């Protein structure tokens, strides 16, 4: 077996010599000033006047979190801790509680999160929690202008996260986007064991 030798052409660069005219700087200065003037009087601008003109946010933008509700209006989360485990920034904190069995409203559920807090300041908005959630309960919205005066108010609890859902779900910008519907009693069409998980390409992350 012969070894193949590849030949490659290497280009050596040298700074180009200045010609007669360039060496005087003047033509370059004139063309520089002309470029500057052209831009100054072109009247075009790339500036967006932000607070007055809001930017259009792409639908896969990763902004503030929300906790989705199911059709019964309950929190969709089943407190499986998947998101908390997946989170690289360690900013999700969940305390699970058994669902109240005597309440008919909750009789199809075993667990629910008693508290669910996300530290929005610590979050790096990577979207791992959204990917990890088996029941599409946690999602990132397109809210980008998150501000607060104290650190405390930037720690979002369950109620606040649910209120973000109520705020955004009908705004047109943030439809429910993780409609994998694959697992768990709280997901919409629970597939039977025979059906298995949906074929690739069907869900958002296909």
Q: Pick from 3, 14, 55, 201: which binds another protein (CB under 8 A)?
A: 14
Residue 161 interacts with ligand SF4 (CB under 6 A): yes or no:
no
Residue of 9, 56, 147, 192 interacting with another protein (CB under 8 A) = 9
Cβ-count burial of 169 within 10 angstroms (0-12 exposed, 13-18 middle, 19+ buried)?
Answer: middle
Residue 23 CB, nearest approach to another protein (Å)? 4
The yes or no reply on residue 95 touching another protein (CB under 8 A) is no
Contact 146, 64 (CB under 8 A): yes
**Residue (32 or 100) nearer to ligand SF4, CB:** 100
Instruction: Give the integer Cα–Cα distance in Å for 8 and 2.
Output: 19
Q: Cβ(129)–Cβ(138) under 8 Å?
A: yes
Distance of CA 116 to the CA centre of its chain: 19
Do residues 86 and 132 touch, judged by C-beta distance below 8 A?
yes
* Dihedral angle sign, alpha carbons of residues 27, 29, 30, 35: positive
**Ranges within 110-149 binding ligand SF4 (CB under 6 A):** 118, 123-129, 132-133, 135, 137-138
Q: Which stretch binds another protein (CB under 8 A): 14-22, 77-85, 90-98, 161-169?
A: 14-22
Binding mask 25-54 for another protein (x = CB under 8 A): x---x--xx-xxx-xxxx-xxxx-x-----
Interface residue list for another protein (CB under 8 A): 5-14, 16-21, 23-25, 29, 32-33, 35-37, 39-42, 44-47, 49
């Amino acid at each position: 077996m012969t070894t193949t030798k590849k030949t490659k052409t290497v280009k050596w660069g040298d700074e180009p010599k200045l010609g007669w005219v360039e060496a005087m700087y003047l033509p370059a200065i004139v063309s520089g000033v002309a470029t500057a003037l052209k831009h100054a009087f072109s009247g075009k601008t790339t500036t967006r006047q932000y607070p007055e003109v809001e930017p259009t946010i792409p639908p896969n933008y990763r902004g503030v979190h929300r906790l989705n509700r199911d059709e019964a209006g309950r929190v969709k989360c089943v407190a499986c801790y998947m998101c908390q485990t997946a989170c690289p920034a360690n900013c999700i904190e969940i305390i699970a509680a058994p669902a109240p069995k005597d309440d008919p409203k909750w009789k199809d559920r075993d667990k629910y999160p008693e508290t669910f807090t996300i530290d929005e300041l610590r979050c790096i908005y990577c979207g791992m929690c959204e990917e990890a959630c088996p029941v599409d309960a946690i999602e990132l919205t397109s809210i980008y202008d998150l501000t607060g005066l104290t650190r405390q108010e930037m720690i979002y609890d369950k109620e606040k996260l649910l209120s973000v859902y109520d705020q955004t779900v009908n705004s047109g910008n943030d439809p429910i986007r993780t409609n994998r519907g694959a697992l768990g009693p709280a997901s919409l069409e629970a597939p039977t064991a025979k059906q298995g998980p949906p074929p690739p390409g069907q869900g958002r992350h296909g």
